[in-house]
Amino acid sequence: MKRLSVLGSTGSIGSNTLRVAAALRDQFEVAYLTTHRNARLLLQQVREFRPRAVAIFDETVASAHTVEFRKLGVEVYGGFPGLLEISRQQDVDIVVNALVGAIGLQPTLNALRKGRRVALANKETLVLGGKLVMQKASQVGAEIIPIDSEHSALLQCLAGEEANAVRKMVLTASGGPFRERAAGDFQNVTVDEALNHPNWDMGPKITIDSATLMNKGLEVIEAFWLFGLDISAIEVVVHPQSIIHSFVEFEDCSIKAQLGLPDMRVPIQYALTYPERRPAEFPRLDFTQLSELTFEQPDFEKFRCLDLAFQALRAGGAAPAVLNAANEEAVSLFLSRKIKFDQVPALVEDALTNCDYNSCSSVEDLLRYDTCAREHVHRALGTPLG
């Protein structure tokens, strides 16, 4: 029996993780759960899975519901310290990090320090602290298994292969909802249009990132750290059907790809059962129902966020942390209808041009750059931070 801690259990990945765990009850037990502020769903999850303790990030919500959870025999931790407390628990085998944003970095490091497997959906962990995180994992011999569908695909393609036989990795991108929309019309994109992803059902932040293609940019950085390739060996191809989740090309011209319907439960289950596979009852791909699989080059001029992510990765240091922080703030401002869609890349570029990101050797350094970038975005717009 493996014990799971699910950080961010009320979000899209978190809820799907619990569905996977419920279907594999003979193998997995849920020990800890955390939410940002969705106490109602967390209560339902507690009744179903009977964890030992939970954390609620929003302190007001945490104190309002403590009694209800305690009646069920479950301890409640509040705020960011509560989230960190849960990520440090000893009696856990796998920590599923399904948090959204840079906030996921320290919980990942805590879990790795304890030698736990981290099933990682929080790509910002690696965008922000890739070097520190990979160093920590190799120091203690802990595994990071990606949940992101592209990286899960790459990991599956690499199974049984020698690292030096890899020539390049190709991440597929759906292209998002605006693949065919003119760049000149991006200023008119509404929040509802941007939240309407053609293939994947995900949380709001990643859905906006998919519409700007920043999500693919963050995934390029994630792949760089996870698989230790040269930047020049990582490519992106637009594949609107989202059936091929990524490719690996080998030195002998052979290419492996991983395919499946766009269903996050598949990579979630693989991250939990890795390196084994277990039977699943998800919908199966029927090739006779596929009319076509198409591929095209990404448009770096139209989707500037993707280009900015490559630039930040090449710049090194804390540039990806600046990119990520500026993007988080810009996306949040767009979602609250305070800026236009085409201001997202403009604000990220402005932060990369004007924020310092040279030396970084600690989590404290990274968080300092992260804060500077967030402040810069708000200064540029004259809006309050927070």
* Residues at the site binding Mg ion, with contacts judged by CB under 5 A: 148-150
In angstroms, what is the minimal distance from the CB of 257 to Mg ion? 15
In angstroms, what is the minimal distance from the CB of 219 to Mg ion? 5
DSSP 159-215: TT--GGGEEEEEEEE---TTTTS-GGGGGG--HHHHT--SS----HHHHHHHHHTHH
Nearer to Mg ion, 150 or 370 (CB): 150
- Alpha-carbon distance of 269 to 258, in angstroms, equals 15
Enter the tokens of residue 131: 């070097």
Nearer to Mg ion, 166 or 236 (CB): 236
Q: Are 76 and 66 in contact (CB under 8 A)?
A: yes
- Please give the DSSP secondary-structure letter assigned to residue 57: S
In angstroms, what is the minimal distance from the CB of 123 to Mg ion? 8
In angstroms, what is the minimal distance from the CB of 229 to Mg ion? 17
- Alpha-carbon distance of 155 to 187, in angstroms, equals 38
Residue 244, SS3 per DSSP: strand
Enter the tokens of residue 196: 């309407």
CA distances from 320 to 147, 186, 332 (A): 20, 24, 18
In angstroms, what is the minimal distance from the CB of 216 to Mg ion? 8
In angstroms, what is the minimal distance from the CB of 313 to Mg ion? 17
In angstroms, what is the minimal distance from the CB of 64 to Mg ion? 34
With CB atoms as reference, the residue minimizing the distance to Mg ion is: 148
Nearer to Mg ion, 9 or 122 (CB): 122
Query: Which of 257, 268, 259 shows the shortest CA–CA distance to 290?
Result: 259
Nearer to Mg ion, 150 or 329 (CB): 150
Q: Are 224 and 234 in contact (CB under 8 A)?
A: yes
- For residue 172, report the phi and psi dihedrals to the nearest 5 degrees: -90, 150
Nearer to Mg ion, 148 or 249 (CB): 148
Nearer to Mg ion, 219 or 249 (CB): 219
Nearer to Mg ion, 199 or 371 (CB): 199
In angstroms, what is the minimal distance from the CB of 265 to Mg ion? 14
Which residues neighbour 321 within 8 Å (Cβ) at sequence distance 6 or greater? 102, 127, 128, 129, 357, 360, 366, 369, 370, 373
In angstroms, what is the minimal distance from the CB of 134 to Mg ion? 19
Query: Which of 305, 128, 92, 300 shows the shortest CA–CA distance to 210?
Result: 305
Q: Are 94 and 2 in contact (CB under 8 A)?
A: yes
Nearer to Mg ion, 13 or 166 (CB): 13
Nearer to Mg ion, 49 or 225 (CB): 225
Nearer to Mg ion, 46 or 266 (CB): 266
In angstroms, what is the minimal distance from the CB of 324 to Mg ion? 15
- Please give the DSSP secondary-structure letter assigned to residue 102: G
Q: 286-308: string of b/e by CB count within 10 Å (b at 16+)? A: eeeeeeeeeeeebeeebbbbbbb
